[in-house]
Each structure stands twice: as structure tokens, then as C-alpha cells.
């Protein structure tokens, strides 16, 4: 017929109405299982690695060519391991939300065994003293979130795109939500 064409949104709601409650319930449950599994894996990684964020995404180019924006780093943070010069650490600075991934360039050990150290991005001209909080010249172990143990190149690009373009994040979530709801059980 030549009636008014229904938009894709109308079709979607028709589909959802036709899908019985049990299927919907099943899909919601399914989705909840996926989310809780992911959270459990994350918590498990925190316990195993000793790091509060076992996986981080490199957000800046300050460590090129060792790491590029979007590389996914796996961290561990065992307190017994001595920190060595040349190691790549992820540290947090007071007043900054995002941890920084840089290399340890100098270590200063005190008599009581406490270690202080200085970091620098491989690609930066100067060391990180300008990034530390005012009056802080060295980092201590308590500032370290973890130490890089391995990485996957560019996997974290999705995170960067989501940070740079918030609309993309909502589009992605919408697509995933629609996929979960409309995936028919074959």
C-alpha cells in the first residue's frame, strides 16, 4: 500500500512488544551476568596483581616510542619488589584524577630503606617534577598505582575515542543495548 511509512523506531517498539516477557527477562538477566562477570574478573585482577587499577590505557604520547596513545597496559604492584631505574610505573599525583605512565629515571634510597624516585616521559624534554604536587620533588611507593608488566597495542583506542567524543560513547552503548535486546535465541 501507499500508507505513511513507519520509521525504524516504530518497528523496534513493535518488535519489543511482540517479544514476550520471559524473553525480555532472560535477556536482562543475560546482560546482568555479563556485567557481573566483568566486574568479578576486574576484582580478581586487583587481588592477583596487587594494583588498584590492573589495566590502564595510555592517554598521552609522552612515552612514545615505548608506548603509544591507546596502548593497554597490564600492571602489577607488589610492594616487596624493589623499584628500579628504567622501570615504567603508573603513578597518581594529588589533585589529578588520571594516573600518569612514565619511566623511573633516578632513585634515591634513604638509610631506613625508604625509596624516593623521579620519573620522566620518554618523549618529554624534562622530568616530571613539574607534574608532582607543589613542593614535591620525588615520588614514593605510596604514589605508585602499578608497574607496567605487559601491553596490548592500541586496544584502548576505544576508551580514548569515548573520552574525546562523549557522543560516541552513548551511540556505542545504544548499539550494544539494542543488540542484546534484539538478539533472537536461535
pLDDT for position 114: 84
User: CATH classification of 55-153 is 2.10.109.10, yes or no?
Assistant: yes
CA–CA separation, 105 and 120 (whole Å): 7
Mean pLDDT of 161-181: 84
**pTM, 2 dp:** 0.70
Provide the pLDDT for residue 95: 82
Edge-to-edge strands, sheet with 139-140: 55-57, 72-76, 144-152, 88-91, 100-109, 115-120, 139-140
pLDDT-based confidence at 165, cuts 50/70/90?
Answer: confident
What's the residue count for the chain? Answer: 186
Active site residues: 62, 102, 128
User: What gap in Å lies between CA 172 and CA 170, rounded to an integer?
Assistant: 5
- Report how far residue 58's alpha carbon sits from residue 79's, in angstroms, rounded to the nearest whole number: 23
Alpha helix ranges (H) inside 58-184: 157-164, 166-182
Strands (E), the chain: 55-57, 72-76, 88-91, 100-109, 115-120, 139-140, 144-152
Do residues 129 and 137 make contact, with C-beta atoms less than 8 angstroms apart? yes
Mean pLDDT across the chain: 86
Strand, helix or coil at 3?
A: coil
Q: What are phi and psi of 72, to 5 degrees?
A: -100, 125
The predicted pLDDT at position 17 comes to 67
Alpha carbon 161 to chain centroid, angstroms: 12
Examine the pLDDT at 186 and tell me if it is beyond 50.
no
- Condensed to tens digits (0 to 9), the pLDDT of residues 18-44 reads 667 778 888 889 989 999 999 999 999
* pLDDT of 80: 81
Percent of the chain with pLDDT over 90: 47
What's the rounded Cα separation, in Å, for the pair 154 and 129? 28
Task: Characterize the bridge pairing of strands 55-57 and 100-109.
Answer: unpaired
Q: What pLDDT is attached to residue 157?
A: 86
Find where cell 525504524 sits.
8
Domain ranges of the chain: 7-49, 55-153, 156-185
Question: pLDDT, tens digit, for every residue of 50-71?
Answer: 998 899 999 899 999 999 999 9
First-to-last C-alpha distance (Å) of the chain: 32
Amino acid at each position: 500500500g501507499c500508507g505513511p511509512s513507519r520509521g525504524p523506531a516504530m518497528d523496534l517498539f513493535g518488535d519489543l512488544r511482540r517479544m514476550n516477557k520471559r524473553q525480555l527477562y532472560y535477556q536482562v538477566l543475560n546482560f546482568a551476568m555479563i556485567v557481573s562477570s566483568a566486574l568479578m574478573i576486574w576484582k580478581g585482577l586487583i587481588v592477583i596483581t596487587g594494583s588498584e587499577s590492573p589495566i590502564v590505557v595510555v592517554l598521552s604520547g609522552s612515552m612514545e616510542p615505548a608506548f603509544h596513545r591507546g596502548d593497554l597496559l597490564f600492571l602489577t604492584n607488589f610492594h616487596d619488589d624493589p623499584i628500579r631505574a628504567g622501570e615504567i610505573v603508573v603513578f597518581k599525583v594529588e589533585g589529578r584524577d588520571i594516573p600518569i605512565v612514565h619511566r623511573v629515571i633516578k632513585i634515591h634510597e634513604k638509610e631506613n630503606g625508604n625509596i624516593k624516585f623521579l620519573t620522566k616521559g620518554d618523549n618529554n624534554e624534562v622530568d616530571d617534577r613539574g607534574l608532582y604536587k607543589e613542593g614535591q620533588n620525588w615520588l614514593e611507593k605510596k604514589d605508585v598505582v602499578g608497574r607496567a608488566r605487559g601491553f596490548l597495542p592500541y586496544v584502548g583506542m576505544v576508551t580514548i575515542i569515548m573520552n574525546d567524543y562523549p557522543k560516541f560513547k552513548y551511540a556505542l552503548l545504544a548499539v550494544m543495548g539494542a543488540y542484546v535486546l534484539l538478539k533472537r535465541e536461535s
